[in-house]
Amino acid sequence: MRIMDLLTDAREEPVSDLDPDVGLSRAARVRVLLAAALGPLVTGYAAVATALTLVALTADRTVFSGTGVLLAAAPGWLAAHQVQLGFGG
């Protein structure tokens, strides 16, 4: 007796997750594409803005505006994603 025969149940039909007749509208496809493309961008920007806000709040004797911190997050986000860091010894 083979192991695969023991692991499979012959009484049930195989289940396939792929359905060729999925009728997604064009708007639904665009919505999913935009969510997949913009989700990581917004999340990354929010993370950098949060980090800069924490730095601004913990700095002594400084004056930062909320708008200034949010505007500084854009170059910070670009720096976090575009600049390669090299550590040498």
* Chain centre to alpha carbon of residue 82: 16
Question: Backbone phi, then psi, for 47, in 5-degree steps?
Answer: -65, -45
Rounded to whole angstroms, the Cα distance separating 31 from 86 reads 38
Does the reported pTM lie above 0.75? no
pLDDT of 15 reads: 63
Q: For residue range 29-51, what is the model confidence (pLDDT) as tens digits?
A: 899 999 999 998 889 888 888 88
Give the CA angle between residues 48, 54, 58 to the nearest 5°: 150
Rounded to whole angstroms, the Cα distance separating 64 from 62 reads 7
Per-residue pLDDT band at 56 (split at 50, 70, 90): confident
